[in-house]
């Protein structure tokens, strides 16, 4: 009989932060940050525990803040940036795959032609180990062609924008 230490299962699991970034066209400006890193805009994050090879479902909700720079925001008309990062996940896992991706604007399904995913900012020290889902990013580079494929106006909303996906890391 071999005794297995109680923490063996948890050693294979890693906590990762899922973070949404969203900037949109509003009365307050063409690129008003709604969700971000906590510096440019309120952080929209969720800590998730990934276990190697296991499916984990993640849901993030971006809410209309109602105001920006003293100006009322009644509607976000279009996205300038809409991405989700799994922060530093590639420092723990070699492969990451997201599937079953859905986006809802005010509860209604958004038709997304293609979600680009990968490590797009390998030249930036603070994001080279991030795995990104890119829905629309007018500033995207290094393989992120979401602005050429998806429509910015598809991500318009009044109250909230919700993204749900399943992630598997190996």
Give 83-93 pLDDT, tens digit per residue. 999 999 999 99
Percent of the chain with pLDDT over 90: 72
DSSP per residue over the chain, as a string? --PPPTTHHHHTEEEEEEEEEEEEEETTEEEEEEEBSSSSS-BEEEEEEEETT--EEEEEEEE--SEETTEE-S-B-EEEEEEEEEETGGGT-S-EEEEEEEEEETTEEP--S--EEE---TTSTTTTT-EEEEEEETT--TT--HHHHS-GGGG-BSSEEEEEEEEEE-
Q: What is the pLDDT of residue 11?
A: 52
Q: Are 17 and 45 contacting, i.e. CB atoms less than 8 angstroms apart?
A: yes
Mean predicted confidence (pLDDT) in 19-48? 91
Q: Are 169 and 92 contacting, i.e. CB atoms less than 8 angstroms apart?
A: yes
Lowest mean pLDDT among 7-21, 22-36, 133-147: 7-21
Q: What is the pLDDT of residue 56?
A: 97
Percent of the chain with pLDDT over 70: 94
State pLDDT tens for residues 138-165.
988 777 889 999 999 999 999 999 999 9
**Measured distance CA(4)–CA(103) in Å, rounded:** 42
| Largest Cα span, the chain | 68
């Amino acid at each position: 009989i071999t005794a297995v230490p109680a923490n063996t299962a948890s050693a294979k699991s890693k906590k990762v932060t899922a973070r949404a970034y969203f900037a949109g066209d509003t009365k307050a400006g063409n690129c008003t940050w709604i969700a971000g890193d906590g510096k440019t805009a309120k952080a929209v994050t969720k800590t998730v525990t990934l276990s190697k090879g296991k499916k984990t479902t993640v849901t993030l909700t971006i809410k209309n803040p109602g105001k920006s720079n003293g100006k009322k925001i009644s509607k976000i008309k279009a996205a300038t940036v809409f991405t989700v990062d799994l922060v530093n996940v590639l420092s723990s896992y070699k492969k990451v795959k997201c599937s079953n991706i859905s986006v809802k604007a005010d509860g209604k399904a958004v038709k997304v032609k293609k979600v680009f995913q990968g490590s797009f900012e390998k030249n930036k020290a603070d994001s080279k180990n991030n795995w990104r889902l890119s829905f629309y990013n007018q500033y995207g580079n290094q393989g992120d062609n979401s602005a050429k494929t998806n429509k910015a106006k598809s991500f318009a909303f009044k109250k909230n924008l919700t993204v749900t996906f399943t992630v598997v890391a190996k």
